[in-house]
Amino acid sequence: MTDLPERMTRYFEDYVPGFTVDCGSVSVSEAEIIAFAKEFDPQPFHVDPVGAADGPFGGLIASGWHTTSLTMRQLVDHWISPESSLGAAGVDEIRWPRPVRPGDTLHVRATVLEARRSNSKPDRGIIRSVAEVTNQDGDTVMRLTAINFVLARNPLS
């Protein structure tokens, strides 16, 4: 586990709609893009810098799954509390409006869209939140809406 000084324990009650957290930045190198893609997404524009130059993106770009994974790390370090996180039901939408390229620095911001108590389990709630990822030029490279289960500080009796 990461142990950041700014780590705060958050529970369901803390994730109110509109609550937003700056989840910091992460850079990604050409070598990292290629290593991830060789394992999980070996399409030419993710693994072959020479071929990618003539490809649909005019150069190498990161797998979208690499971008989701890098973003998840920022969320674990800044948004999610290990004390309360019960995992995710899934994702409602991901969009990759612009490619991530070697050397890009990605900035992640998370915001609560909806929060409701579980109908069936009094100890938890369901959070719908959006992670917006921008590059160093301020362009949005990903928007991801996730659904998470989170323990409540005060279970309903």
Q: Is position 40 an interface residue for a copy of itself (rule: CB under 8 A)?
A: yes
Minimum CB separation of residue 138 from a copy of itself in Å reads: 20
Report the nearest approach of a copy of itself to the CB of residue 122 (Å): 15
Contact 91, 144 (CB under 8 A): yes
Find the shortest distance in angstroms from Cβ 16 to a copy of itself.
22
Window 116 to 145, contacts with a copy of itself (CB under 8 A): none
Q: Yes or no: say if 20 and 111 are a contact pair by the CB < 8 Å rule.
A: yes
Total chain residues near a copy of itself (CB under 8 A): 38
User: CA of 114: how far to CAs of 22, 28, 64, 118, in Å?
Assistant: 18, 31, 25, 13
Decide: is 5 part of the binding site for a copy of itself (CB under 8 A).
no
Nearest distance in Å: CB 70, a copy of itself: 7
Residues 52-111 that bind a copy of itself (CB under 8 A): 56-57, 61, 63-65, 68-70, 72-73, 76, 80, 82, 85-96, 99
Phi first, then psi, for residue 104 (nearest 5°) are -65, 145
Q: Residue 39 or 114: which CB sits closer to a copy of itself?
A: 39
How far apart CA 22 and CA 108 sit, in angstroms, is: 6
**In terms of CB distance, is 93 or 137 closer to a copy of itself?**
93
Q: Where on the phi/psi map is residue 87: left (φ > 0), alpha (ψ -120 to 50), or beta?
A: left
Determine phi and psi for 142, rounding to 5 degrees.
-155, 145
Task: Give the tokens for residue 56.
Answer: 């649909």
Binding-site ranges for a copy of itself (CB under 8 A)? 1-2, 39-45, 47-48, 56-57, 61, 63-65, 68-70, 72-73, 76, 80, 82, 85-96, 99
